[in-house]
């Protein structure tokens, strides 16, 4: 195994650990705003993914991957970058969105997986 692959595997572990630590420290500051943006991310995201599948005429595994990736919750990377470069109010809004979208994804991801396996596998 080459060095780059070993570094990549180590980086995946570090990202997951930072996600866990960041989620334990996050709080929901504005539930209304977080709910609106999270709904857009985990509900409208798969709809957009389905439109992309139809536009590019994807099928099989590639269509399933696009649909599943489009239904994932907001990424922790946004929080990490915002914490370095943005004011506290924006960081709080981003952390609220990440927490709410992660909780919402507990319901939406299994539904998306069902449709991906049913129609694209």
Give the domain ranges of the chain. Answer: 3-120
Spell out the long-range contacts of 58-64 with Cβ–Cβ below 8 A and sequence spacing 24 or more. Answer: 59/120, 60/120, 60/121, 61/120, 61/121, 63/116, 63/119, 63/120, 64/116, 64/117, 64/120, 64/121
Give the pLDDT score at 57.
93
> What are 9-39's pLDDT values in tens digits?
888 888 778 777 777 777 777 888 889 988 8
Q: How many residues make up the chain in this entry?
A: 121
d(CA 58, CA 68): 13
Confidence category of residue 1, pLDDT binned at 50, 70, 90: low
24-28, 78-82, 104-108: segment of lowest average pLDDT? 24-28
- Residue 66's CB is within 10 A of a number of other CB atoms, namely 20
- DSSP output for 40-107: IIIIIHHHHHHHHHHHTT--HHHHHHHHHHHTSPPPHHHHHHHHHHS-HHHHHHHHHHHHHHHHHHHH
């Amino acid at each position: 195994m080459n060095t780059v692959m070993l570094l990549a595997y180590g980086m995946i572990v570090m990202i997951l650990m930072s996600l866990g630590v960041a989620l334990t420290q996050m709080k929901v500051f504005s539930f209304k705003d977080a709910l609106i943006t999270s709904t857009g991310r985990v509900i409208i995201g798969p709809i957009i993914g389905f439109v992309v599948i139809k536009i590019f005429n994807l099928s099989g595994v590639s269509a399933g991957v696009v649909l599943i990736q489009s239904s994932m919750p907001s990424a922790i990377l946004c929080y990490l970058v915002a914490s370095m470069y943005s004011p506290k109010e924006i960081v709080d809004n981003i952390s609220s969105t990440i927490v709410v979208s992660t909780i919402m994804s507990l319901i939406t991801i299994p539904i998306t997986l069902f449709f991906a396996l049913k129609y694209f596998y």
